[in-house]
């Protein structure tokens, strides 16, 4: 009888899952990729008056799960008159075996055949999959947003994709507006697309943060058509507000008569009219996202869309945003209940939705050790498959080489540690340019953090406490040093900018190397401490079994299952 009851319960669960699947399909978004382009990458943006210290901030979670994770520094350079810049097709996702060489050398195999005029001077910058910050404090973060199927252009005709556009912006631009106009104009002239579709970039400088969104214009476009090879739009985040992009287009109604807050390609509206995406006679105002990248649903009816609601609920709880509010109805930006510090933003990137309906450890979902990475029902801000996460700071009260900082955290956010790299650095650790997902490598910085993450998953609630201790030492420790490092660097800069750059480089590299070394050691310690699911106290040379005991909730659930199967 008990078995019959169990089968009945399972039947109801399966029927419910089936109905949920059907309902989700009937309300499926009109994007090219029905799963939000893999749901990869979350971007958070903070205006200078919404931050605790007056900096602008952006983030990027690169969470492909299989992409190249290597980073490099590109130095500034002067170029002779008549020089040209070769344009390459740089895939966001493609990797090569380490035995073949580094990705950023191998991309030269995919030359587009197009060279554009070089500028007299290019800026130095830091980049991973995308360009993140240059020595002028221009900062970028990325999120894929998708587009209507007819707009995609997977042919070889478009010269530019999103990665190449960010690198050109890093090389040539000082401000967010300059970068937006450059990327837009290049995409219009030479075409945008290839393997990239609708993309969003958070583009920031010390004064402003902008949302830049760009889409292809279909597979039939050619340069000879005389039409723009892309359609794009940009909206500025108000200085006292914050915004987010969780793989969904964020720009709604636009006002091109207000260039202080809106910029766009000349075809921003005409392309929608020509393709039937918006009817001027409908009586409805033109909405960029509804025309080009509509994405239906809310957090409540599709937990895969929970990030939008969760962000607004975290930064502005007083507004009481409902999980039932359709994602496309959320405001473009909001004034936070309190100014956000860089530490606050770091913690936002680590959010797992604890204490909410989407809590991945609710009930027995997280297993006996409350592991938030078991349950993938809801898509929240922090994910287990991140390549790395960045937080950029642009601080206008300091010279650009000192004012800009890229905070980089390798691997999953919850088991990682943010490392600062000033805009004025002249190198990155060699270990940052090495490694991939398929070959373990102790010379690769990223593997140190994956090593800790792997051991943390075994007994999460116990292991994460050890990780937090390490993070308090290294992450909070360096956060507390930044003001003094700024002061010393500024003093040097006023006397000799080169010496200041050397100082910032030494500080950034030394800190990174110490943290990477500490994370390798932490991984070793977790292996020893949690061996055989017993807590081995190395200092006391004892086993503390009580630390590893299962919670009562889990024990009761196991007993209930035993009763059902008797």
**Angle CA(280)–CA(282)–CA(285) in degrees, nearest 5?**
65
Domain map (residue ranges) of the chain? 1-30, 31-397
Q: Answer whether 515's CB lies under 8 Å from 479's CB.
A: no
pLDDT of residue 553: 85
Among the listed residues 354, 327, 442, 271, the one whose alpha carbon sits nearest the alpha carbon of residue 27: 327
pLDDT tens per residue across span 253-291 = 999 999 999 999 999 999 999 999 999 999 999 999 999
Task: Report whether pLDDT(362) > 70.
Answer: yes
Question: Residue 98 and residue 439: Cα distance in Å, rounded?
Answer: 8
Average pLDDT over residues 114-119: 98
CB neighbours of residue 162 within 10 Å: 25
Distances (CA, A) of 453 to 181, 373, 380, 418, 469: 41, 11, 18, 15, 14
Question: Residue 285 and residue 252: Cα distance in Å, rounded?
Answer: 10
pLDDT of residue 36: 40
**Angle CA(371)–CA(361)–CA(520) in degrees, nearest 5?**
20
Average pLDDT over residues 171-198: 97
pLDDT tens per residue across span 487-519 = 999 999 999 999 999 999 999 999 999 999 999
Band (pLDDT 50/70/90 cuts) for residue 39 is low
Question: Residue 95 and residue 97: Cα distance in Å, rounded?
Answer: 7
Cα–chain-centroid distance for residue 79?
Answer: 33
Is 0.85 surpassed by the pTM of this model? yes
Q: What is the mean pLDDT of the chain?
A: 92
Among the listed residues 382, 393, 372, 335, the one whose alpha carbon sits nearest the alpha carbon of residue 53: 393
Distances (CA, A) of 347 to 114, 211, 413, 446, 452: 43, 22, 9, 20, 19
CB within 8 A of 439, min separation 6: which ones? 97, 98
Distances (CA, A) of 196 to 41, 152, 199, 562: 14, 8, 7, 51
Task: Report whether pLDDT(209) > 80.
Answer: yes
């Amino acid at each position: 009888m008990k078995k019959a009851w169990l089968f009945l319960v399972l039947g109801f669960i399966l029927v419910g899952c089936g109905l949920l699947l059907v309902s989700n399909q009937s309300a499926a978004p009109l994007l090219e990729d029905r799963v939000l382009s893999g749901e990869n990458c979350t971007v958070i943006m903070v205006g200078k008056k919404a931050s605790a210290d007056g900096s602008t901030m952006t983030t990027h979670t690169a969470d492909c799960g299989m992409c190249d994770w290597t980073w490099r520094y590109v130095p500034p350079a002067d170029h002779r008159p008549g020089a040209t810049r070769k344009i390459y097709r740089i895939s966001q996702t493609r990797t090569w075996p380490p035995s073949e060489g580094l990705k950023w050398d191998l991309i030269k195999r995919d030359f587009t055949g197009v060279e554009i005029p070089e500028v007299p001077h290019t800026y130095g910058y830091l980049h991973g999959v995308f360009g993140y910050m240059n020595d002028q404090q221009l900062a970028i973060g990325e999120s894929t947003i998708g587009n209507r199927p007819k707009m995609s252009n997977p042919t070889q005709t478009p010269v530019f994709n999103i990665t190449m556009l960010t690198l050109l912006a890093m090389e040539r631009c000082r401000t967010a507006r300059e970068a937006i106009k450059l990327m837009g104009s290049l995409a219009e002239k030479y075409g945008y697309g290839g393997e990239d579709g609708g993309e969003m970039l958070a583009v920031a400088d010390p004064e402003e943060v902008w949302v830049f969104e760009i889409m292809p214009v279909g597979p039939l476009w050619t340069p000879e058509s005389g039409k723009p090879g892309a359609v794009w739009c940009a909206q500025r985040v108000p200085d006292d507000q914050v915004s987010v992009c969780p793989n969904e287009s964020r720009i709604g109604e636009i006002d091109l008569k207000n260039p202080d807050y809106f910029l766009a390609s000349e075809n921003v509206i005409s392309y929608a009219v020509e393709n039937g995406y918006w009817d001027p006679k409908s009586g409805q105002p033109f909405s960029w996202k509804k025309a080009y990248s509509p994405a239906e649903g809310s957090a409540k009816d599709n937990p895969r869309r929970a990030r939008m609601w969760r962000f607004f609920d975290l930064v502005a709880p007083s507004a009481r945003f409902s999980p039932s509010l359709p994602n496309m109805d959320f405001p473009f930006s909001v004034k936070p209940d309190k100014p956000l510090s860089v530490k606050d933003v770091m913690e936002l990137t680590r959010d797992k939705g604890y204490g909410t309906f989407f809590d991945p450890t609710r009930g027995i979902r997280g297993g006996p050790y409350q592991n938030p990475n078991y349950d993938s029902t809801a898509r929240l801000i922090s994910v287990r498959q991140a390549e790395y996460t960045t937080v950029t700071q642009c601080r206008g009260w300091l010279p650009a080489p000192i004012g800009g900082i890229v905070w980089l955290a390798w691997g999953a956010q919850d088991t990682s540690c943010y490392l600062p790299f000033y805009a004025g650095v002249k190198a990155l650790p060699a270990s940052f340019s090495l490694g991939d997902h398929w070959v373990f490598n102790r010379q690769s910085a990223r593997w140190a953090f994956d090593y800790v993450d792997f051991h943390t998953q075994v007994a999460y609630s116990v292991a994460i406490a050890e990780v937090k201790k390490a993070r308090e030492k290294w992450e909070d420790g360096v956060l507390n040093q930044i003001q003094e490092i700024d002061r010393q660097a500024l003093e040097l800069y006023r006397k000799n900018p080169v010496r200041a750059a050397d100082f910032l480089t030494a500080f950034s590299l030394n800190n990174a190397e110490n943290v990477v070394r500490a994370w390798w050691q932490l991984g070793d310690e977790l292996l020893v401490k949690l061996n055989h699911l017993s807590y081995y106290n190395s200092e006391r040379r004892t086993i503390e079994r009580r630390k590893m005991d299962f919670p009562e909730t889990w024990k009761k659930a196991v007993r209930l299952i035993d009763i059902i199967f008797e």
